[in-house]
Every structure is written in structure tokens, then in C-alpha cells.
Amino acid sequence: MGFENRTVCIAVSGSDAGIACAKNYLDLGARVAVYYNEPERIRTLDTEKFGDKLKLIQISDFKNADELIKAGEGVIGEWEKIDIAVAAVTMADNEKGLDMSEEEYQDILKTISSGTLFFIQPLLQNMMDHDYGRVAIVMSIGGRINLPGVSPAYAAANASLGGITRNIASTAGVHYVTANAVAVGPLTDGSYKAGTSDVKGIIAGHETGTPEDVAKAVEYLTADLASWTTGEILDLNGGFLMI
């Protein structure tokens, strides 16, 4: 889909979806910077194969806005132009639900919502300065519809990603920057589990999505083929939710 020589930044936390996106972009010829906070997730990335096409940036805490902004500024300083930003930042929900403490609530909200926002912030300004960009945000279906067992914090954090997506789309569109989200159901790696419901698709033999399914959806939304698609939330759940 024409990703040769594109520069891509991907935030990876709590899921292998971002890793699948990184592998896909690298195979398509892009240069990729991966922000990560879980070393075990990046072990499948072939650093020898891709050489200077792959840059790994360890983040100690996705709740730390200053650290994320500094990382973005570092990539921009080295690569000058960023074309694509993909945020796949999540964490497991807290089963306490309404009984969770303020600290537990803020942990979820800041990791998912603030982590996504401050990862994108410096990259978005660079895209606007260059009059081109694609932003893709991976969120949980738990922020899209009401599901039993989803905590208020998890629902709020993921719902905010939809708001962030539409805000970026509406404010950055004049600079030829698009922004879209992918609302996913639970994946085979155990991530993006939403509540106590059995969220499964209707496609026989493919009832549960894979990180690679997410990568292909993100590929489309960040390709030039989707240049007139912005502010949208793509429901990726195998037909569990049809709107």
C-alpha cells in the first residue's frame, strides 16, 4: 500500500497488537520507531534483519507525559519527518469496578488516555508542520458499547480515545492529517478483554481476533487508500457488534 520510506512511530503497551503493526510496516518497507515498556513484547522483532529501519525506545511509564514528549522530540530530531503514529496502549481492567480506589482509577485512565495523548502530541505537530500525517488509535470495544463487568475507569479511558480521535481529525484535517480508531474485541494474546461478556465474532473458526487482524486494519486506515477517511471508529470484532 505504498509505505516505502514512510516513518512510523508506534506505542506498544499491554498488547501484541502494536508489535504486529510494527512487523507489518517493516515488511512493507517503512522505517519504524517502537515505544515500549515491556521488554518481553519486543523479543519477536528482528533487529538484525531490519537494522536502522527499526528503532526501539524504552518507556518507563506510559503515564509520564514528559517522558513521552521527550521521546517524540528525540525521534523527530533524528528522522525529521514523522508520517504515521499508531497508539496501541492498553492494560487489563480492574475487577473491583466501582469499588476501586482513586489511585487505581487514575492508573487506568492515565495509562490508556494520557499515554495515548502525550505519545501523539509531539508527533502530530510535526505532521501538521509537514502537511501530511496519519494517526491510528487502538481502543477496546469496552469504550464503544456497554458491556457487563467493564469498570467505569476502563470504559471512560477507552471512550476518551474515540474523543481524542475525532478531535485530532477535526483540528488537523486542514493540514492533510487524518485520524481514525480501531475498536477491538478481545484478542488471542489475552489483551483488550472487556468485562465478563463472552465477546466473540460470528465468523466460524475466527471468533476471536488476532494482533495481526489489528495490524491489517491499521494498515488500511494509515494508507493513502484511506485519505478521505477520518474521524471514524472501525469496529473490529468479527461481527459481534454491527452498527
Is residue 240 within 8 A of residue 200, CB to CB? The reply is yes
The Cβ of residue 205 has, within 10 Å, a number of other Cβ atoms equal to 5
Q: What is the mean pLDDT of residues 86-105?
A: 92
Q: Which of 126, 106, 6, 1 lies closest to 62 in space, CA to CA?
A: 106
Judge contact between 217 and 238, C-beta under 8 A. no
Instruction: Indicate whether 136 pLDDT > 80.
Output: yes
Give the mean pLDDT of 208-234.
96
pLDDT tens per residue, range 188-215: 999 998 776 677 877 888 888 899 999 9
Q: Which of 208, 204, 205, 202 is nearest to 189 (CA)?
A: 208
pLDDT of residue 106: 96
How far the first Cα of the chain sits from its last, in Å, is: 27
Which domains, and CATH codes, for the chain? 7-236 (3.40.50.720)
Torsion 209-37-67-160 (CA) sign = positive
**Grid coordinates standing for 167?**
478531535
The fraction of the chain above a pLDDT of 70, given in percent, is 99
- Report the C-alpha gap between 159 and 226 in whole angstroms: 23
> Is residue 95's pLDDT more than 90?
no
Q: How confident is the model at residue 1 (pLDDT cuts 50, 70, 90)?
A: low
